[in-house]
Chain A
Amino acid sequence: MNDPLLLAAVALLVPLAAALLLVVAPPLRHRGTPAAWICIAASLASLAAAVRLVALHAQLGGARWTTTWLFAAAKPIASVGLCVDAVSTAMLAVVTLVALCVQVFSVAYMHDESPRGFGRYFALHALFLFSMNLLVIAPNLLQAFAGWELVGLTSYLLIGFWFAKPSAARAAVKAFWMTKLADMGFLFGLLWLFVASGGFEWSAKLDPTVATGVTLLLFVAVVGKSAQFPLHVWLPDAMEGPTPVSALLHAATMVAAGVFLVVRADPLFAQAPLTRETMLWIGSTTAVFAACLALVQRDIKKVLAYSTCSQLGYMVAALGAGSAFAGFFHLGMHAFFKALLFLAAGSVIHAVHSNELSDMGGLRRKMPVTTFAFVIGALSLAGIPGFAGFFSKDLVLASLEGRAGWIPWGLLMGAAFLTAFYMGRTVCLAFFGKLSPKSEHAHEAPLAMSVPLLVLAVPSVIAGFFGAEFAHSLGAHYEVHLGLTPIVASSLAVAGFVAALVVFGRRRDASVASAIERLDRASFVDRGWEALYRRVLLGLSDVLGWIDRYVIDGLMNLTGYATLEAGSAVRGAQTGRMRHYLVAVVVGAILLAMLGWAR
């Protein structure tokens, strides 16, 4: 097993095989447990292949294989294939590791599900892993688009996993339409790219204007998928799905696909300074804005969801600053600690049967392992020195130094403080303080849940130390340096935690806490979208509906009516008597002969 392409194919196709097997063999799916094992085995194989690929890549370098599948006028249009390089191997390893942990976790978390639902859940997980790997390993934008849409589909299916619950079904549809709206940008960007360059290559050379247009269109899709302001509103609603799904899709991997796309298409984006400027601003705005929203959520998953938005904002800002490596590095670190946080939150929810922070409290004594894991994740997310999040966040901030008058830098510094603050708040409310009535009967999670937590806790702490090697394999430069940014960032993080402890700690300062909770009004963006939908879109639909009903259908009906009438008018000609038909034939022949002479 030393052929990189073979390994990549294994990582890609084994989950697909598992998904197909579960689709075509309903008994396996309906019994539940076998489906889980098949899915986990496939992920394990995928992970093994990905890890081997990382090792191999360090020695042998990249590999690439494509085959053309779409021709027009004997000219190849599109190809599919495998692209093994530093970016894809690293991403593959992250995705498969997190996926495996989440799937093992799910075995325990989804235990109360009916066998059929259990099987469906794991079939969707296998499909998701394939889709994500397809996107990661894509050698061109077209295949990436296929994977992109597939992860969107699996996201829809998994958010709406409990489709009998109206809120879940609505959230699934909302997520689907929001991202779909944004995906139009991807599609048009692809078309423009093809028209301009005749291909779908990641590194096509383009006109400056065309490059700006194409990358802006692609960025629209990124804004949708990676939940950036103002299209972020679907992500908090997506928390209606099972918590492991939120961990895998809506924190670690799928939402990061947008960032990954930009990292991949870096040569394209490098030709478009305007797009990068836009990304810089949108990213830093989202980071602060979502952090503010995270501050006031009462639902532990919504806190993490807005936190995800905020962290994705960091990545987008880094990409906007032209540092693809910083964004990608933060993506990887974020995948670990955010998946960890979500799974720990899932463990808590599983124990207290509620998402509300007010139903939690004092869980530290009941669930030591979960508490440990959550705190590790929180510290890493806040960027406390020594944890993985510190390194990547530092890198992101460093890449912003001096950009656009230090404003994005300042915004992200503020977001860093807020991040530490809201994570401190969550930790205080959920794990410290008095035991709430609901958490009286809480107990530590089973092994299948705690082991993945501990596994994910390891990279959440130490992964940052491998930044230099990682950077080297990507051809980027990275070193930890003691300067303005790390000092300010880490002091802000510590300050945030301390402030949270003061406000929400044992002796709660009720006035500040309630003042903060009153900030909840900030969900105006959601209402703005709703108004836009109700007034503009529905109004437009009414107009279009009227045109469709009376103009287009009217034309159709008129055509039908005219045809019927014309038929009735000439039906007399069809006498059914053969003689009459023969007369017509012969007279026609005579007329043709005369016509021949007349010419």
Chain B
Amino acid sequence: MIGDALAWILGAAVVISGVFVVASRDLVHAVLWLALALLCTAGLYAYLDAPFLAGVQVLTYVGGVATLMVFGVMVTRRHAAAAAEAGNDSNVVGAVVALGVFAVLAIAILKTDLPTSTAPTPDTAELGRTLLDDYLLAFEAVSLLLLAAVVGAVVIARRRDVEARTQDDATLLPTMRTGAD
């Protein structure tokens, strides 16, 4: 089946690009690998009868999140070289722990008697109805959460005025420094 073959290829692509996400030294490269991984996942969604989710994934993640990430990296770019220099001293520990996680998950998956069903997956229209019917409250709550996140992000990352910044340097930084000591 061509669909199955495509799915296998997509799955392999997701894993490979995931490896590059965590392995590439340059952050911009890592973000681009992540975008690829997310794109391939969107393809898998489409294969798994979730075309709407695939669309959303492409729009928000690949279009929004990845762009935002690149933007963040660019803004803080000054230290990219230093960051690249910083050696990863705990690679071995990280690898062992990650393998442990994978082992636990894999064992759990293989040991579990997974349910099967031939019920048709809901189409987009049904998904929309469910969203605004059963999940209406959660839906509204999420919109509120997004609003709060936007406001919060602005408040946290807001660039202060020049006066405020000098004040900041005079008062805040020393305390942070001593705290760091």
Instruction: List chain A positions with a Cβ less than 8 A from chain B.
Output: 579, 583, 586-587, 589-590, 593-594, 597
Select A587's contact among B90, B100, B108, beta carbons within 8 Å: B100
Q: How far is the CB of A410 from chain B (nearest CB, A)?
A: 87
* A597-B101 Cα distance, complex, nearest whole Å: 14
A590 touches B97 (CB 8 A): yes
**Contacts of A587 on B, CB cut-off 8 Å?**
97, 100
* A583-B108 Cα distance, complex, nearest whole Å: 21
B93 interfacial by beta-carbon distance below 8 Å: yes
**Contacts of A597 on B, CB cut-off 8 Å?**
107
Q: What residue in chain B is nearest A576 (Cβ atoms)?
A: B180
* A590-B94 Cα distance, complex, nearest whole Å: 13
**Contacts of A590 on B, CB cut-off 8 Å?**
97, 100-101, 104
Q: What residue in chain A is nearest B104 (Cβ atoms)?
A: A593
Q: How far is the CB of B147 from chain A (nearest CB, A)?
A: 28
Q: What residue in chain A is nearest B100 (Cβ atoms)?
A: A590
A593 touches B108 (CB 8 A): yes
A583 touches B97 (CB 8 A): yes
Which of B93, B94, B104 lies at the interface centre, i.e. has the most chain A CB atoms within 10 A of its CB?
A: B104
Can you give 14 contacting A-B residue pairs, CB < 8 Å? A579-B90, A579-B94, A583-B93, A583-B94, A586-B97, A587-B97, A587-B100, A589-B101, A590-B97, A590-B100, A590-B101, A593-B104, A593-B108, A597-B107
**Contacts of B107 on A, CB cut-off 8 Å?**
597
Q: How far is the CB of A330 from chain B (nearest CB, A)?
A: 77
A594 touches B104 (CB 8 A): yes
**Contacts of B94 on A, CB cut-off 8 Å?**
579, 583
* A321-B56 Cα distance, complex, nearest whole Å: 99
Q: How far is the CB of A425 from chain B (nearest CB, A)?
A: 82
Q: How far is the CB of A298 from chain B (nearest CB, A)?
A: 74
Give me the 7 closest cross-chain CB pairs, A-B, nearest first.
A593-B104, A590-B100, A590-B104, A586-B97, A583-B97, A587-B97, A579-B90
B104 touches A586 (CB 8 A): no
Question: Could you tell me which residues of chain B, from 90 to 108, have a CB within 8 Å of some CB in chain A?
Answer: 90, 93-94, 97, 100-101, 104, 107-108
**Contacts of B90 on A, CB cut-off 8 Å?**
579, 583
Question: Could you tell me which residues of chain B, from 24 to 48, have a CB within 8 Å of some CB in chain A?
Answer: none
Q: How far is the CB of B66 from chain A (nearest CB, A)?
A: 24
Q: What residue in chain B is nearest A584 (Cβ atoms)?
A: B97
**Contacts of B108 on A, CB cut-off 8 Å?**
593
**Contacts of A593 on B, CB cut-off 8 Å?**
104, 108
**Contacts of B93 on A, CB cut-off 8 Å?**
583
Q: How far is the CB of B110 from chain A (nearest CB, A)?
A: 12
Q: How far is the CB of A599 from chain B (nearest CB, A)?
A: 14
Q: What residue in chain A is nearest B105 (Cβ atoms)?
A: A593
* A590-B104 Cα distance, complex, nearest whole Å: 7
Q: What residue in chain A is nearest B90 (Cβ atoms)?
A: A579
* A289-B101 Cα distance, complex, nearest whole Å: 92
Q: How far is the CB of A328 from chain B (nearest CB, A)?
A: 74
Main secondary structure of the interface of B (DSSP, over half): helix
* A583-B94 Cα distance, complex, nearest whole Å: 8
Q: How far is the CB of B62 from chain A (nearest CB, A)?
A: 27
Q: How far is the CB of A16 from chain B (nearest CB, A)?
A: 54
* A594-B90 Cα distance, complex, nearest whole Å: 24
* A583-B98 Cα distance, complex, nearest whole Å: 10
Q: How far is the CB of A576 from chain B (nearest CB, A)?
A: 9
* A397-B90 Cα distance, complex, nearest whole Å: 100
Identify 16 new A-B residue pairs, CB closer than 8 A, beyond the known A587-B97, A590-B97, A597-B107.
A579-B90, A579-B94, A583-B90, A583-B93, A583-B94, A583-B97, A586-B97, A586-B100, A586-B101, A587-B100, A589-B101, A590-B100, A590-B104, A593-B104, A593-B108, A594-B104
* A593-B100 Cα distance, complex, nearest whole Å: 11
Question: Could you tell me which residues of chain B, from 67 to 122, have a CB within 8 Å of some CB in chain A?
Answer: 90, 93-94, 97, 100-101, 104, 107-108
Q: How far is the CB of A299 from chain B (nearest CB, A)?
A: 70
Q: What residue in chain B is nearest A580 (Cβ atoms)?
A: B90
* A586-B108 Cα distance, complex, nearest whole Å: 16
Q: How far is the CB of A23 from chain B (nearest CB, A)?
A: 46
* A594-B111 Cα distance, complex, nearest whole Å: 13
* A589-B105 Cα distance, complex, nearest whole Å: 11
* A579-B94 Cα distance, complex, nearest whole Å: 9
**Contacts of A586 on B, CB cut-off 8 Å?**
97, 100-101
Q: How far is the CB of B34 from chain A (nearest CB, A)?
A: 19
Question: Could you tell me which residues of chain B, from 152 to 180, have a CB within 8 Å of some CB in chain A?
Answer: none
Q: What residue in chain A is nearest B93 (Cβ atoms)?
A: A583
* A511-B104 Cα distance, complex, nearest whole Å: 111
* A422-B34 Cα distance, complex, nearest whole Å: 110
* A475-B116 Cα distance, complex, nearest whole Å: 93
* A586-B101 Cα distance, complex, nearest whole Å: 8
Q: What residue in chain B is nearest A586 (Cβ atoms)?
A: B97
Q: How far is the CB of A585 from chain B (nearest CB, A)?
A: 10
* A309-B108 Cα distance, complex, nearest whole Å: 89
| Chain B window 102-144, contacts with chain A (Cβ cutoff 8 Å), 1 for yes, 0 for no | 0010011000000000000000000000000000000000000
* A587-B93 Cα distance, complex, nearest whole Å: 11
Which of B90, B97, B107, B108 lies at the interface centre, i.e. has the most chain A CB atoms within 10 A of its CB?
A: B97
* A587-B97 Cα distance, complex, nearest whole Å: 7
Q: How far is the CB of B9 from chain A (nearest CB, A)?
A: 31
* A590-B107 Cα distance, complex, nearest whole Å: 12
**Contacts of A583 on B, CB cut-off 8 Å?**
90, 93-94, 97
* A369-B48 Cα distance, complex, nearest whole Å: 116
Q: How far is the CB of B108 from chain A (nearest CB, A)?
A: 7
Q: What residue in chain A is nearest B103 (Cβ atoms)?
A: A590
Q: How far is the CB of A596 from chain B (nearest CB, A)?
A: 9
Q: How far is the CB of A316 from chain B (nearest CB, A)?
A: 72
* A587-B103 Cα distance, complex, nearest whole Å: 12
Q: How far is the CB of B94 from chain A (nearest CB, A)?
A: 8
* A566-B108 Cα distance, complex, nearest whole Å: 38
Q: What residue in chain A is nearest B88 (Cβ atoms)?
A: A579
* A390-B169 Cα distance, complex, nearest whole Å: 93
Q: How far is the CB of B141 from chain A (nearest CB, A)?
A: 27
